[in-house]
Amino acid sequence: MPVSLEQLNSASSDDFVAALATVFEHSPWVAAAVAPGRPFVSLASLYSAMSAAVRSASSAKRLELINCHPDLAGKAARASVLTIESKYEQGSAGLDRLSDTEYDLFQRLNGAYRQKFGIPFIICVRRHTKDSILRQFELRLKHTAEAEHETAINEILRISGLRLDQHVVAPDRLPVSGQLTTHVLNNHDGCPAEGMALTLFELGGDGTRRVITEAVTNHEGRTETPLISARPLPIGRYELRFEVGRYYADHGTPTADPPFLQSVPIEFSVAEPERHYHVPLLVTPWSFATYRGS
Amino acid sequence: MPVSLEQLNSASSDDFVAALATVFEHSPWVAAAVAPGRPFVSLASLYSAMSAAVRSASSAKRLELINCHPDLAGKAARASVLTIESKYEQGSAGLDRLSDTEYDLFQRLNGAYRQKFGIPFIICVRRHTKDSILRQFELRLKHTAEAEHETAINEILRISGLRLDQHVVAPDRLPVSGQLTTHVLNNHDGCPAEGMALTLFELGGDGTRRVITEAVTNHEGRTETPLISARPLPIGRYELRFEVGRYYADHGTPTADPPFLQSVPIEFSVAEPERHYHVPLLVTPWSFATYRGS
Amino acid sequence: MPVSLEQLNSASSDDFVAALATVFEHSPWVAAAVAPGRPFVSLASLYSAMSAAVRSASSAKRLELINCHPDLAGKAARASVLTIESKYEQGSAGLDRLSDTEYDLFQRLNGAYRQKFGIPFIICVRRHTKDSILRQFELRLKHTAEAEHETAINEILRISGLRLDQHVVAPDRLPVSGQLTTHVLNNHDGCPAEGMALTLFELGGDGTRRVITEAVTNHEGRTETPLISARPLPIGRYELRFEVGRYYADHGTPTADPPFLQSVPIEFSVAEPERHYHVPLLVTPWSFATYRGS
Amino acid sequence: MPVSLEQLNSASSDDFVAALATVFEHSPWVAAAVAPGRPFVSLASLYSAMSAAVRSASSAKRLELINCHPDLAGKAARASVLTIESKYEQGSAGLDRLSDTEYDLFQRLNGAYRQKFGIPFIICVRRHTKDSILRQFELRLKHTAEAEHETAINEILRISGLRLDQHVVAPDRLPVSGQLTTHVLNNHDGCPAEGMALTLFELGGDGTRRVITEAVTNHEGRTETPLISARPLPIGRYELRFEVGRYYADHGTPTADPPFLQSVPIEFSVAEPERHYHVPLLVTPWSFATYRGS
């Protein structure tokens, strides 16, 4: 249940800590540390204070914070003993619907990571697809323990930023969300393409495709709502597929039989989860172009 | 074994007919009909004479010619009693490697067609993919018997044109072949993209993909040889996939991690088998465009 | 001095007529005709009532209304006896700064038109450039008197719509304005082009160029305000010129010497004054593209 | 009158020197130096030998060679006492039709250069436009005398290479020529744009425009011959203007009135005279794109 920044500022210290208990996994001490600093004028200043409290804590305290986190896609997930927040986050990348082979792979990686660094592998799951998590696992297994302790804290702060942004109603928002939008221009007729069906897929490294969303363009050639918004864009590969052939057939535009362009896929990757990716389509029955816009 | 136009012109009438025996399926009478018209100054005039002989034959004769053709992907194919030419042609569209389900489908369609029109379904297989053959089956089953007799003769003449063009060495060629080419321009650096790997796939209606050819662009950004040439382009759907990410990584061009564009697919369809399709890629690490060129 | 719709609705009949006196040239009777219809819930309904009053007036009355209008760029303009509204409107298309040759041309055309049709040539000047006015003169001189009487009324209603929209403050606006915008995307680096200088010119048929506005793109690659807005886009030819070479030089992007692209002109025409024209530039040091967007 | 490499190889030493007398301005000693090295298997090896003879000559000899060259656009040009070769070359960049102001400017620059370096300003004129010659003048005036003596020899060798390539008939050609081509693709209809008129202009820094060539595209959307070929492309600024509006009007393609695109200019610069510049146009009535191709 969301709470307002105003309520947080005027609450008793205990209520304040209780209200923010879930922001740092099993670690109410972070909220307690910043409670005396109230009132906070913005969500950004509250988040900044909490981040400072974590960074300035003793290394033992920071290690304890790290160890409060569950394994990724681990036994806890299968046994359903995760915090609600962890459960929701791991589900966002599909870690709650792994095949047995994938589950075993994650267990091996968790084990190898814990054995090398003595801590659980922590990553802000909502910024990733399953594929990019696996890639991070492989990259980070090559690092030093010191670097990984630092990375673990950074990822915890990202996780907390997202939880805070979602949990607290405030005039400002934390810069934790990205946006994916598109726009279809019909260059054959010099107008926005209205009524073109499109589908966004997430592409897995193993050739799998998962529908993220389907939409039809409006009179401006845009979708009514962004394809992804109000959350980080998961790092990974995507396909945006436009039903160009059907659109021109519906408009009676002369083409070939079968039309040169029918279903037009655009494959692209997201690398910056907090940015705006605009992936437009400029199209005629015989040509198309796209680019990373913003 | 190819024969030259010169040899055909100077051969005895019997040898001439024998040399062209395979051009019209089991129907040496067509060659016999044009033998007195020799010498032919070009392959085009020979083909024109043979076409005229067929078109001016009695309707009984034409029906006999039609009935000399085997069923598509039929029992004859499985039993290997096709003429070598038919066997080769049906193989070109993959009709010799049908699954049992597909085989049954073709049998049903063959049966329905034969029952409605009293003749085998004839189509110039080398101008089609398996998918477009099935589509033609469905379309043509809706026609009248009169229209289908006419279509059967037209398709026979297409088949013969291809056989003649392949079998006879002459100064001219029949206009029976198309061409598929590509060209990659690196608009980031203002030069042809040399060394970009690409793959051409044929796409099946059922989601299958079959590699047609693989190539790497040369210093002009082109492939050393056309992607398809010296034959009709089979009507159907294709994907041309360019390894853009690897190319820019090899050139040390700064991009994102993962790069916005990695493997770039272009999906398009061929509708005119005897034409030149040029499908270029204009590309930067952040944008691309394509069009039907020629 | 603007007046609010509210004030108009609550004013005495005389004050209402006085406040709208200038909407129809020397013709307060139009306002008088609609005064009893108050209150008007929107500017659109007021305009609609005034239009209906004109269209349903006797043909003598309509002719009188037509004859209340001055000649275009005529003696009245030179002698400064135009209404303030006419003066402002004729100035918008440069009719107040004609060369002697142009002045003579307009006099000849005015004379020819008046002689053929018995009425002054009326055109909603703010929807046109000087060139398109001359083109309309030539076209309309070929019409019938009946068609031109009809056209004169239509143009008067356009003029009045613009005057009303500018003069009355209301919650709604009349659909009398267009917009010209641009957007520069740097496809070399996958980001908006910030800090690119650009100039919009109006092009005359005689090879003249007149600067309409200059701007520099902001961090979104857009101009802070539309290139043209809050008025109809004058029908005519334009050049939008982008200083691409300087932009890439400022960014240290390697190019040739001299750079392949330095100052990039886009020439286009406006045909629909009340629409949104978006003319973007997708650019690298070696390529560019544009299209009519919206 | 051209001479063949064969003739040069079999001529007497005196005839050989006489035949190549004009290759190095007033300096038959270069030809004499390489005569004993015959036979030359290629034009490239002959040119290479002559270049080596110049580079290995004493510095006094090289200075003498430099001083054999006339001033650019100087009194000699006005008095018509240039060698035929110099006259032709200076004419190619318009140096024979300077206004008095330009003539004075060249005289001042010639004087300043000669005063600073003690030698005439030498530049391979056929690789430049008048504007780029002036720019080189300004740049080179800032150099050291040593650098300019070196540059003078390099430019002399470029001049000689061009003269040799033009004068001697051989199986090989020297790499002294560039090429400018275009190609118009009609993306509205998926075909080459046949019958589109286009004009190539050279743009002067002072706003002048000079027509270089006019052409109409053929059935492949190309011009019958390259826009420039068989010579270096002069370094400078160009405009290629395509009559898009007329083309689509001729084809009955629906557009606006006036059409959004009428006469489409592409402005670009040449920096590498010996390269192939391909400047295509991909166009619909509502969009266009271009790029540096090759």
Q: pLDDT tens for chain B, 294 residues: list them.
A: 789 999 999 999 999 999 998 899 889 999 999 999 999 999 999 999 999 999 999 999 999 999 999 888 776 666 666 788 877 787 778 888 888 888 899 999 999 999 999 999 999 999 999 999 999 999 999 999 999 999 999 999 999 999 999 999 999 999 999 999 999 999 999 999 999 999 999 999 888 899 999 999 999 999 999 999 999 999 999 999 999 999 999 999 999 999 999 999 999 999 999 999 999 999 999 999 999 998
Instruction: Answer positive or negative: Cα dihedral of C154, C158, C159, C163.
Output: positive
Phi, psi of C78 (to 5 degrees): -65, -35
Q: pLDDT category, A246, cuts 50, 70, 90?
A: very high
Q: How far is D194 from chain B (nearest CA, A)?
A: 12
Look at residue B96 in the predicted model and tell me its pLDDT. Answer: 80
Q: pLDDT category, A79, cuts 50, 70, 90?
A: low
Look at residue D78 in the predicted model and tell me its pLDDT. Answer: 67
Residue in A267, A276, A294 to test binding to B, most B beta-carbons within 10 Å:
A267
Closest Cα in chain B to A262: B268
B189 shares contact with chain D (CB less than 8 Å): no
Look at residue A244 in the predicted model and tell me its pLDDT. Answer: 98
D289 shares contact with chain B (CB less than 8 Å): yes
D35 shares contact with chain A (CB less than 8 Å): no
- pLDDT tens for C132-157 read 999 999 999 999 999 999 999 999 99
Per-residue tokens: C227: 């290139």
Give C103 or B80, the one with higher predicted confidence.
C103
Closest Cβ opposite residue B258 in set A269, A282, A288? A269
b/e map D53-78, b = 16+ CB within 10 Å: bbeebeeebbbebbeebbbbbbebbe
Is A261 in Cβ contact with B267 (below 8 Å)?
A: yes
Closest Cβ opposite residue A294 in set C191, C282, C291? C191
In this prediction, residues A21-38 reach a mean pLDDT of 94
Contact C217, C198 (CB under 8 A): yes
Q: Judge whether residue A225 has pLDDT over 70.
A: yes
Contact A2, A167 (CB under 8 A): yes
| Residues in chain D with pLDDT values less than 70 | 75-81
Q: Which helix (H) or strand (E) holds D135?
A: helix D130-140
In the predicted model, what is the mean pLDDT of chain A?
94
Q: What percent of chain C has pLDDT over 70?
A: 98
CA distances from A16 to A5, A12, A24, A159 (A): 10, 6, 14, 19
Closest Cβ opposite residue B288 in set A257, A271, A290? A290
Q: pLDDT category, A121, cuts 50, 70, 90?
A: very high
How many C×D Cβ pairs under 8 Å? Answer: 74
Look at residue B99 in the predicted model and tell me its pLDDT. Answer: 86
Look at residue A76 in the predicted model and tell me its pLDDT. Answer: 64
Is D260 in Cβ contact with A188 (below 8 Å)?
A: no
Q: pLDDT category, A8, cuts 50, 70, 90?
A: very high
Residue B246 CA to residue B265 CA, distance in Å, equals 14
Is A261 in Cβ contact with B268 (below 8 Å)?
A: yes
Q: How far is C77 from chain A (nearest CA, A)?
A: 39
Q: pLDDT category, A72, cuts 50, 70, 90?
A: confident
Contact D173, D190 (CB under 8 A): no
Q: How far is C185 from chain A (nearest CA, A)?
A: 7
Give C202 or A208, the one with higher predicted confidence.
C202
Look at residue D253 in the predicted model and tell me its pLDDT. Answer: 96
For residue B240, which of A265, A203, D280 has the smallest C-alpha distance? A265
Residue C2 CA to residue C237 CA, distance in Å, equals 32
Question: What is the interface pTM, i.e. ipTM, of the complex?
Answer: 0.93
Q: Judge whether residue C79 has pLDDT over 70.
A: no
Residue in D268, D276, D281 to test binding to C, most C beta-carbons within 10 Å:
D268
